[in-house]
């Protein structure tokens, strides 16, 4: 009887270990936010769960918060602003996508009329020499527009470098969040 009990326990532990490995390797990844470029949405030291398979099932959407490989050593967390074919511009602290003004409610905690513009004026052509986001590329910005190293400096990012979509902020517990404002 004891032998059957031990075999059952070992089987459960092996299955749990295998499932954990599969989930961590193929479905989800854990990331730590490093820096202030996504404040007030994400803060330095937040722990994130990144969905690695979502973009195998659907397209990347504007305003998704994503993790991507910035280089061989670093991954960045940013917000998707422009997709292929989009014309992106900022005028008087207002985002214009394809000529239409877009409200960015997630930036409201940072807006302060006494401090001037949150996002300086620009067009894609001024930054990149392109009038629209090229095929296979994304234009990304950090929510902390004054302190973010993003597409305004590094240019477009390749869609192939996207690790996944940030689905959950799970640490610290008091900041747990399952949905990010778009």
Q: Is the peptide bond before 42 cis (omega within 30 degrees of 0)?
A: no
> Per the residue annotation, which of 8, 25, 37, 101 is the catalytic one?
37
> Per the residue annotation, which of 78, 83, 137, 165 is the catalytic one?
78
| 146 catalytically annotated | no
Contact 62, 81 (CB under 8 A): yes
How far is Cα 78 from Cα 106, in angstroms, rounded to an integer? 13
How far is Cα 10 from Cα 148, in angstroms, rounded to an integer? 49
N-terminal to C-terminal alpha carbon distance within the chain: 57
| 78 catalytically annotated | yes
Which residues are catalytic, by number? 37, 78
């Amino acid at each position: 009887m004891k032998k059957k009990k031990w075999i059952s326990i070992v089987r459960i532990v092996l299955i749990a270990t295998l499932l954990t490995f599969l989930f961590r390797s193929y479905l989800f990844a854990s990331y730590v936010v490093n820096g202030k470029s996504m404040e007030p949405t994400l803060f330095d030291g937040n722990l994130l769960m990144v969905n690695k398979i979502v973009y195998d099932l659907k397209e990347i959407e504007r305003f998704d918060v994503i993790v991507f490989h910035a280089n061989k050593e670093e991954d960045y967390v940013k917000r998707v602003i422009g997709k292929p074919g989009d014309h992106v511009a900022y005028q008087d602290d207002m985002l214009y996508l394809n000529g239409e003004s877009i409200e960015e409610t997630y930036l409201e905690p940072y807006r302060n009329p006494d401090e001037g513009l949150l996002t300086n004026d620009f067009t894609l052509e001024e930054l990149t020499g392109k009038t629209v986001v090229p095929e296979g590329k994304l234009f990304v910005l950090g929510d902390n527009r004054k302190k973010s190293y993003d597409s305004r400096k590094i240019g477009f990012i390749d869609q192939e470098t996207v690790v996944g979509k940030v689905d959950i902020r799970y640490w610290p517990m008091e900041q747990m969040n399952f949905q990010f404002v778009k």
